A = this chain, B = another copy of it.
Amino acid sequence: MRKAILVDMDGVLVDIYPRFFELYKKETGINLPEEKVTGLLEAEAFPNQRKWVSAPGFFRDLPVMAGSREVLKRLSGSYDIIIVSLATEFPYSLTDKQLWLHEHFPFISWRQIVFCGNKTIINADIMIDDHPKNLDFFKGETIMFTQPNNIHLTCSAHRRVDSWYQIEKLLLQ
């Protein structure tokens, strides 16, 4: 039987930090150095982050994470892929996120997408996520995708990967 993988969006399929730095620069005129945000949650690192992500349109044109499209397509040959995003906190993000997925990941059907407020109720075998708040409560195999928010964590419970090519190596070879 094929294993099912839950794949997170922000910080895993969506390269979201560059947009945060860009908006911070736009609002303050300051180029925030990456080391200033490492180890902090996004809302701690960027004081206006909740305002930004609440606005209609924010999630519609974010950059795609390097390698995610090709590797996810290859993984689709051997695994059931389910995209799962904690998105219901921000009602206007929902339609934007879905249209973004249709544009950049046309091989992912609407049947494979979940927007929710709690990932613990979703069944699957493997979870790829950048947030320990999601990974810690998952019963299957966990893969932590390196992002500034988790870079200092040394958590032996989750396997760390720094790129989609590492995910491919781990799951397809």
Contacts and interface: CB of A to CB of B under 8 A. Distances in A.
A106 interface: no
Contacts of A115: 88, 94, 114-116
A135 B47 CA distance: 44
Copies in the complex: 2
A91 B115 CA distance: 11
Interface of A: 4, 82, 88-89, 91-92, 94-95, 98-99, 102, 109-118, 121-124
Nearest to A90: B110
B113 A116 contact: yes
Contacts of A109: 117
B91 A99 contact: yes
Contacts of A113: 88, 116-117
Given A110-B88, A123-B123, A116 B117 contact: no
